[in-house]
Amino acid sequence: MSSSQPRNWKALLLSHEMLLLYVLIAEWLFFYFAGTTVNRRGVTVGFGTVDRQFDILRHSCEIGLLALALTPVIITAGIDLSVGSLLGLCAILFGKFWKDAGLPIPVAAFLALGCGALGGGLNAALITSLRLPPLIITLGTYSLFRGLAEAITRGAVTYTDFPAGFLFVGQERWLGLPTQAWLFFGVAAAVWLLVHRTTFGRSFRTIGFAPEGARYAGLPVERRVAMVYILAGLIAALAAIIYTARLGQAKADAGTGYELFAITAVVLGGTSIFGGTGSVHGTLLGVAAIAVLKNGLACLPAVMRLNAAEDMSGLLTGALLLLALTGSVLPKLLSSWRAHRPAPAPSAPSPNPQPSP
């Protein structure tokens, strides 16, 4: 599935990422034509405006960052449910460092990033030193981080009144693009290089595919897996800072539920939840597909009249995820049915095959 060495053009054109790209283009064109209108004052409004496109980019940065953080994690056959909660905790700590401790913004940001890495480090330590399932460890830290954020602020404190220079990061444009998009693209490029162009990153796939094999091959599996979770924590902290800059406030509920959208984007992007395969560009396409769907729906007149944009985007994201999954296993499934039933009639397989020994 990963496209490091396409065997031929056909394989490349039919790879998961390319299929997703076609879906994305189709989606975009549909919304461009159906979601752009001219309003009463004769101004073109809706999906097809440059402003809207930039808004979509701006709104996708935090979830996109979390998806980037999760891609290496999931490639190593792990999962991190705590990134959304860690985002909330780091946002609070950042606000606290700046306002209560009186530190300058860059120092506060630096410390918040450190706290993110520490949070990821806690996950990493528990997962690797005790070889515990990441799902359950991060389920625990999911509650723990959010709980700490609430306990620190007693639920009540909201940090606001950030200086304009900081808000610039979240609300203005720099060199034509929303400022945080530069950060997002920078992280995306770095993660892409790490996963696809370094031996270090390539080992993630080996580890995800067969951890025991990787161990026998002499890879420091524990150390690499630990790195992946620490990196995830670090990126979650960066997302927290961007979130704070975009909304101009840091509050204990920041990032609630983001982990689900991030995981959805990663899986939609073709990374196997069982680990071993996946790509960063796939994840980026997944993030874009969800963001365009969500924002595009809100621009459709029919959907607007139903007052259902928010609900419908959730519903369709779920359906899209199931479709992508089904599509990705179908070829494998067909071939496995054929392999198990070499006898005639390879067609019309039962939906619930019970291969006999």
* Among candidate residues 222, 200, 197, the one with its CA nearest the CA of residue 134: 222
The count of residues interacting with another protein (CB under 8 A) is 94
Q: How far is the C-alpha of 161 from the C-alpha of 156, rounded, in Å?
A: 16
Task: Provide the minimum distance between the beta carbon of 273 and another protein in the complex, in angstroms, as a whole number.
Answer: 4
| Contact assessment for residue 246 and residue 171, using Cβ atoms and an 8 Å cutoff | yes
| Contact assessment for residue 2 and residue 205, using Cβ atoms and an 8 Å cutoff | yes
Segment (H or E) for 60: helix 50-75
* Residues numbered 53-92 forming contacts with another protein, rule: CB under 8 A: 55, 59, 79
Task: Provide the minimum distance between the beta carbon of 9 and another protein in the complex, in angstroms, as a whole number.
Answer: 19
Segment (H or E) for 285: helix 280-297
| Contact assessment for residue 219 and residue 41, using Cβ atoms and an 8 Å cutoff | no
Quick check: 143 binds another protein (CB under 8 A)? Answer: yes
Nearer to another protein, 183 or 194 (CB): 183
Quick check: 43 binds another protein (CB under 8 A)? Answer: yes
Binding segment for another protein (CB under 8 A), chosen from 3-11, 15-23, 48-56, 191-199, is 48-56
* Among candidate residues 72, 78, 99, 107, the one with its CA nearest the CA of residue 2: 72
Length of the chain: 357
Quick check: 335 binds another protein (CB under 8 A)? Answer: no
| Contact map string, positions 173 to 212, toward another protein, x by CB under 8 A | ----------------------------------------
* Among candidate residues 62, 104, 11, the one with its CA nearest the CA of residue 262: 62
Task: Provide the minimum distance between the beta carbon of 249 and another protein in the complex, in angstroms, as a whole number.
Answer: 5
Task: Provide the minimum distance between the beta carbon of 259 and another protein in the complex, in angstroms, as a whole number.
Answer: 10
Task: Provide the minimum distance between the beta carbon of 5 and another protein in the complex, in angstroms, as a whole number.
Answer: 26
Q: How far is the C-alpha of 39 from the C-alpha of 52, rounded, in Å?
A: 15
Task: Provide the minimum distance between the beta carbon of 100 and another protein in the complex, in angstroms, as a whole number.
Answer: 17
Residues 6+ apart with CB under 8 A from 304: 298
Q: Phi/psi at 279 (nearest 5 deg)?
A: -145, 155
* Residues numbered 148-167 forming contacts with another protein, rule: CB under 8 A: 148, 150-151, 153-156, 158, 160-161, 167
- Return the structure tokens found at 145: 């981080």
State the sign of the Cα–Cα–Cα–Cα dihedral 264, 270, 276, 281: negative
Quick check: 1 binds another protein (CB under 8 A)? Answer: no
Q: How far is the C-alpha of 263 from the C-alpha of 69, rounded, in Å?
A: 10
| Contact assessment for residue 6 and residue 15, using Cβ atoms and an 8 Å cutoff | yes
Task: Provide the minimum distance between the beta carbon of 205 and another protein in the complex, in angstroms, as a whole number.
Answer: 17
Nearer to another protein, 7 or 216 (CB): 216
**Unique residue bearing structure tokens 């006898």:** 343
* Residues numbered 218-257 forming contacts with another protein, rule: CB under 8 A: 243, 246-249, 251-254, 256-257
Quick check: 41 binds another protein (CB under 8 A)? Answer: yes
Quick check: 331 binds another protein (CB under 8 A)? Answer: no
* Residues numbered 272-311 forming contacts with another protein, rule: CB under 8 A: 273-274, 295, 298-299, 301, 304, 307-311
Task: Provide the minimum distance between the beta carbon of 189 and another protein in the complex, in angstroms, as a whole number.
Answer: 25
Nearer to another protein, 44 or 198 (CB): 44
Helices (H), 198-220: 199-209, 211-216
Nearer to another protein, 69 or 194 (CB): 69
The strand pair at 44-46 and 36-38 is best described as antiparallel
Nearer to another protein, 153 or 279 (CB): 153
* Among candidate residues 162, 137, 11, the one with its CA nearest the CA of residue 79: 137
Binding segment for another protein (CB under 8 A), chosen from 46-54, 176-184, 215-223, 231-239, is 46-54
Quick check: 19 binds another protein (CB under 8 A)? Answer: no
Quick check: 34 binds another protein (CB under 8 A)? Answer: yes
